A = this chain, B = another copy of it.
């Protein structure tokens, strides 16, 4: 099995090509297609599709066009969430992945609709690639009211709300829903698709939970540790706009300690599976340590 760096190097351009090629082939209206493509090909680490594919590789499953379709469906859904999060009514961000956000570039209605089109297209690719209704239920639950969108609602609802600033449990839940749920789903989609045994499924999903919870803390740390040039988006912004998150609550040092504890837990969860490749994903977090 490839190590993480080789795996990433091999599959990232294949994922990027698939996204460009299939959006171009499958979206009929050329102007609307351009708006959708603009955000999808803006870059990004392709972390979620890579995590799905790496979990399949961990389970000794081959990766072909069907698996790639599922992986890229996840990325479409992730991109939709970024477009809507950036909207004026939400986080009101002007830059994302180093370029103008969708609504700044194309207009607000266009950005809402691009997101509204990427979400079902992502689910469609996952359903078509897997030919398994269970994967459609996993992804839709992960991004819905009790998942990603529910987390975004808690975020909106708790911003500039002093009562929430000390509510550890609520902030923990918000960060889990916003980011962790979709990351967990990448692994769950793979274990379900590969019909993994219960024991292995449990270990891998435990890993995904620790990795996913860690990701939001990492993302919050990026906001204060990196310059906006490094991050490709506005940083040092959360505190200014009254966001409550693990970082504003614990401070940098304790957040780093919490992140390290989650990394350790994620590594332990991989002890009994063929976990070298998935372990490599944790290296991402070194950037803020």
Contact = CB atoms under 8 A, between A and B. Distances in A.
Interface of A: 26-29, 31-33, 36, 84, 87, 89-90, 107-110, 112-113, 115-117, 119-121, 123-124, 127-128, 130-133, 135-137, 139-141, 143-146, 149-150, 152-154, 156-157
Most buried by B among A123, A141, A150, A157: A123
Contact of A27 (B107, B110, B146, B156): B146
B32 A117 contact: no
Contacts of A84: 112, 116
- Copies of this chain, complex-wide, total 2
A41 B153 CA distance: 20
Given A33-B145, A133-B133, A156 B109 contact: yes
B152 A140 contact: no
Most buried by B among A128, A135, A149: A149
Contact of A123 (B116, B120, B132, B157): B120
Given A36-B145, A136-B136, A153 B120 contact: no
B120 A140 contact: yes
Given A32-B153, A136-B127, A119 B117 contact: no
